[in-house]
Every structure is written in C-alpha cells, then in structure tokens.
A and B are shown apart, each in its own frame.
Chain A
Amino acid sequence: MKKHILVVDDSSTIRASVCACLRNAGYKITEAVNGKDALEKLRLLQERNQALSLILTDLNMPEMDGITLVRKVREGVFKFVPILVLTTEAHESVIEAGISAGASGWLQKPFDPEQLLRSIKKLVWSK
C-alpha cells in the first residue's frame, strides 16, 4: 500500500517538482493550491475513509495560509498526521510560528529531491 501525501502550495512549479519527486519515490499524492483547498481535500479523504501519511505545506498562500491550515488540521480528524512546512524564509520567527501552530518539521525552499525525501522519511514510517 503506497503512503499517501497531501502537497499544498500555490506555486504550480513547486507542486509539479515536489509531486514528480514523490511519485517517482513511490508515494501516492493529492495536490491542493492553498489552505482552504487542502481542508476540502482532507474532507474528501475523510469521507472516503482514506489514510494519510503526511502533509507538506507552503506557508504564504492566498485564501488560507499554511499556519492557519496547520492549526485547523491539528483540530480535526487528521490531527496526528505529521506536517512538514516548506518555506522560502528561514527566519526563526517564521519557523517558530509554524512549529508552535503544530508543524512537525520544516524544509527551506529551494531543496533538491534527496533533501526532500530525507525530510519525509524522518516523519513517515518506513515503507
């Protein structure tokens, strides 16, 4: 059974890069373009009783940002799913905001496929 990852980013370039890397590594992917879209995708997963192994999310997005998404996920049925924050800014305040909202880790953009897969493996049980 493939591990399922939700990838949330408003950049189509980053979604395409991340999803290509993850599909290549054998993960099943669902994409969302912002926090609001991510919550809708989570609602559908819940309806279909599908499992989720990880959420990868950008922070700065329209309609609903990543910090709000992290907070809302931590209040819902997927509250135990690890969340890896993808951020362009590596300021302590930004990382701290993500972690205190409930994120499990962070990775600074740009990253190469190996860095991404290493960070994911730290958070997801090995296949």
Chain B
Amino acid sequence: MIDNDEILQIFFSEAEELLKLAETSLMSLESTPDSASDIEELFRSLHTLKSSAAMTGFTSISEYSHLLETLLERLRTHKLSVTKNLITMMLESLDFMKSMVDRAVRGVAEANSDELRMHREQVSRYLGLDTMAQSPGNGRFRLDEALRGNP
C-alpha cells in the first residue's frame, strides 16, 4: 500500500520534471516568440504542477503556479506579447519555483513571506498592466518599456 511519504516523493520528482519541461518551453519561446505550441506546453506544465502541489498541500507552489498560468493565459489570448523582459521574468519565476520545491524536499517552508510577496508582485505588475495594451493609437503596448519607465 502506497503511503503519504511515497506520494510526496512522487510529487517532488514530478515537480522537478515539470519545471525542466517548462524551462525548455520557455527557452524555445524565447527564440520563436509567437509559438502557440510553446505557450501551450508551458501552460500545461504549470497547470499540472498547480494541481499536484495543491493535492499535496504545497499551497505557495500551487498559488504561484496559478499566477504564472494567468499570465500565460494572457499570452495565449494575445492580450500580452512575449518580450525579452517577460522571458527573463519567467525564467526567474521558474528558478524561484525550483527553490520552493527544493525547500519542500528538505521539509522546510516553501518560501519566506517577503520573497514570495516580491515574486508575486513581479508577476502581478505584468498582469496589472495588460489593460493598457488596449491603448489606441500606437499598436501593441510594450510592457518591457513601460516597466523601465521609458516612453
């Protein structure tokens, strides 16, 4: 009979594999920014990680995956564009998720609250700004420029 410890081990190895897959999709998206299949693969990896983490009680990993999933949904529906800054932010996000999984493996809290807040805010800035993409006149809004404060 499989016990809770075995389920946790299954989760840890699945999480590691999903984050590797997500990183591969993200690197591929960087070279082909319009690739719907890369966005789809990335979305699927994070969606599965969200469910698996929620099932095993790792709520920070699950909630953060959900936030990234929301961002990918905006890419999927062309409300946001893939930019170099967005890719960099996503790579940092995946590194942060890896660190959360590592901590979970060691049996400590997934993240400290300050770090989690900082990373959540970083993603939320992209999510909050997307309404400006509808600004008339100058085509698609460049989030990376807006975040740098450039015109």
Contact = CB atoms under 8 A, between A and B. Distances in A.
Contacts of A12: 10, 14, 52
B40 to A, nearest CB: 9
Nearest to A88: B51
Contacts, number: 51
Interface in A19-72: 19-20, 23-24, 58, 60, 62
Contacts of A19: 2
A14 B1 contact: no
B36 to A, nearest CB: 15
B20 to A, nearest CB: 14
Contacts of B56: 13, 17
B7 A23 contact: no
Contacts of A10: 44, 48
A92 to B, nearest CB: 17
Nearest to B2: A20
Interface residues of A, number: 17
A51 to B, nearest CB: 24
Interface string B49-93: 011101111000000000000000000000000000000000000
A110 B48 CA distance: 12
A114 B6 CA distance: 20
B51 A11 contact: yes
Nearest to B18: A11
A12 B15 CA distance: 10
B47 interface: yes
Contact of A13 (B1, B3, B14, B44): B14
Given A11-B52, A13-B14, A23-B2, 19 more contacts: A10-B44, A10-B48, A12-B14, A13-B7, A13-B11, A13-B55, A14-B52, A16-B2, A16-B7, A17-B55, A20-B7, A24-B1, A60-B44, A60-B47, A60-B48, A88-B50, A109-B51, A109-B55, A110-B54
